[in-house]
């Protein structure tokens, strides 16, 4: 009975909970609230966020978080393959929208943030990661970007104008030629972005535990290694097995 409950709970997490979390992130990642009209504004993910999401997926594979060879295969039921594929698709678009939520909409900082993300993710492709270290790195990456955009840059883009905007305007006057211009949004946009990123990180953590709790696929490692031996080595192995007495006590 406990094994049956465990299987049902695992199926509920993999096929309902996780896709729902990532779909919510994909829907909220482009949501903004207008500063004056207080209306909903949906920002489509820029092309660079799709590239960032692709690099993130590659990083998840290298870190052991995504295991395509175990979750999608010809030996699995078709419905399971479809469900797992759908979950990977939702993770991809949730990643793109997570970057969209912390990426300035336009201007100089949009390109600076894009370069920062691209440089970080590209360098991480050549680093050694496990699932725990990867999740910690992703959390720090998005946390830093959130603070820069929704706390520091929010002051810079504020219609009232804060101290950061005055200092930046003085230092960069005549250099940026208006490239610091960006739309201003209501403060609640930052709360939405925080909730979106929290759901995204929570979904990755739940996914990491779900992958860890998955039953290990039985592989014929010994048989594969045996087949790679030469004929003489195979004969020696068979003789050793036959000559080895078995203690039945």
Give 192-241 pLDDT, tens digit per residue. Answer: 999 999 999 999 998 888 766 554 443 444 555 666 677 777 777 777 77
Domain containing 104 equals 2-218
Q: Which tokens hold the place of 9?
A: 């709970």
The answer to whether residue 248 sits within a structural domain is no
The answer to whether residue 67 sits within a structural domain is yes
The answer to whether residue 31 sits within a structural domain is yes
| Strand 40-42 versus strand 31-33 pairing type | antiparallel
> Which pLDDT does position 218 carry in this prediction?
38
The answer to whether residue 245 sits within a structural domain is no
Q: What's the predicted TM-score (pTM) here?
A: 0.75
The answer to whether residue 25 sits within a structural domain is yes
The answer to whether residue 133 sits within a structural domain is yes
Nearest residue to 31 via CA among 42, 44, 46: 42
- State how far the alpha carbon of 138 is from the alpha carbons of 34, 56, 91, 126, 129, in Å: 29, 9, 14, 15, 11
The answer to whether residue 197 sits within a structural domain is yes
Q: Token match 């739940």: residue?
A: 206
Give the whole-angstrom CA distance, residue 131 versus residue 91: 15
> Phi/psi of residue 185, each to 5°?
-125, 165
Nearest residue to 104 via CA among 149, 48, 138, 144: 149
Q: Which tokens hold the place of 130?
A: 């496990």
The total of structural domains in the chain comes to: 1
The answer to whether residue 239 sits within a structural domain is no
């Amino acid at each position: 009975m406990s094994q049956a409950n465990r299987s049902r709970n695992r199926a509920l997490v993999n096929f309902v909970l996780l896709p729902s979390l990532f779909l919510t992130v994909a829907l909220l990642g482009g949501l903004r609230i207008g500063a004056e009209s207080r209306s909903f504004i949906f920002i489509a993910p820029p092309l660079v966020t799709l590239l960032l999401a692709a690099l993130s997926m590659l990083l998840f594979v290298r870190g052991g978080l995504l295991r395509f060879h175990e979750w999608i295969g010809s030996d699995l039921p078709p419905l399971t393959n479809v469900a797992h594929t759908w979950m990977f698709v939702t993770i991809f678009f949730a990643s793109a929208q997570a970057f969209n939520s912390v990426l300035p909409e336009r201007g100089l900082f949009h390109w600076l943030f894009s370069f920062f993300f691209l440089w970080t993710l590209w360098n991480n492709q050549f680093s050694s990661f496990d699932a725990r270290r990867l999740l910690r790195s992703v959390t720090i990456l998005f946390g830093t970007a959130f603070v820069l955009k929704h706390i520091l840059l929010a002051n810079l883009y504020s219609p009232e104008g804060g101290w950061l905007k005055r200092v930046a305007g003085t230092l960069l006057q005549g250099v940026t030629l208006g490239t610091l211009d960006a739309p201003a949004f209501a403060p609640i946009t930052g709360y939405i972005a925080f909730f979106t990123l929290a759901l995204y990180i929570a979904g990755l953590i739940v996914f990491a535990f779900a992958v860890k709790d998955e039953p290990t696929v039985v592989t014929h490692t010994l048989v594969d290694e045996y087949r790679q031996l030469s004929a003489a080595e195979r004969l020696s192995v068979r003789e050793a097995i036959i000559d080895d007495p078995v203690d039945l006590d």
